[in-house]
Amino acid sequence: MPRVADHDARHGQITDAVQRLIVRYGLSTVTVARTAAEAGVSVGLVQHYFAAKDEMLLATFTRVNGRFTARVDELVNRGEAAGRTIAEMLRQALAELVPLDEARRAEFLVRLAFAGQAAHDARLAAVQRETLMGIRSRVARAIGNGTVCGEVARGADATEHALRVVAFTEGLALHTHIDPDGTPEPAALAALDGQLGRVFTGTCRRARIG
């Protein structure tokens, strides 16, 4: 068990260093040597955990997306415990995609950097596609639950609405990144609320969905 824990810790230490380098200097500047220096470890140690630079980049991209998913799970669990509406929980979850603070900005820059790289890398593209499909699936499930409890009109196409909501959120994230002064947090969240308000038009008939 200690060996597994140490392995995971080293992986995290190295991929976090890659993320910091991407945020500060861009993806093209990342090398094994720079990553080792940023992580405070030897080049040999980095190469021990990652046989090639591409593997290190793939692990970083996967870790960033996994961190987002874990935060969303935590938000949903807290929201359910507090009896929040599905719309409220979905708004909180989607806001994690928008660069409204330094942590989310760093993750957005990493996703943006890898988006270009994924156009020419099948493994990165697979992670990107899997993450997007996972987000859409979660949103569609939330909308389906909303239909059951009364927050969403019966007969609503959850898959179609999920596509629109996620696409809108990603566009909003890009606008916030490009023009943060013109897209302050209150305006960004109000825009997200407006989009969700087109789908969640009713009131839930019960506090929780099982």
Reading the chain (210 residues) residue by residue, the pLDDT tens digits are 445 558 788 999 999 999 999 999 999 999 999 999 999 999 999 999 999 999 999 999 999 988 888 888 888 888 888 889 999 999 999 999 999 999 999 999 999 999 988 989 999 999 999 999 999 999 999 999 999 999 999 999 999 999 999 999 999 999 999 999 999 999 999 999 999 999 999 998 764 433
pLDDT the model gives residue 75: 87
> What fold characterizes domain 1-51?
Arc Repressor Mutant, subunit A (1.10.10)
pLDDT the model gives residue 210: 35
pLDDT the model gives residue 2: 47
Amino acid symbol at 139: V
Q: What is the DSSP letter of 28?
A: G
The pTM for the full model equals 0.87
Domains of the chain by residue range: 1-51, 52-210
Q: How many CB atoms lie within 10 A of CB 197?
A: 11
Architecture of domain 52-210: Orthogonal Bundle (1.10)
| Long-range CB contact pairs, 67-74, < 8 A, 24+ | 67/107, 68/96, 68/97, 68/107, 68/131, 69/131, 69/134, 71/96, 72/96, 72/138
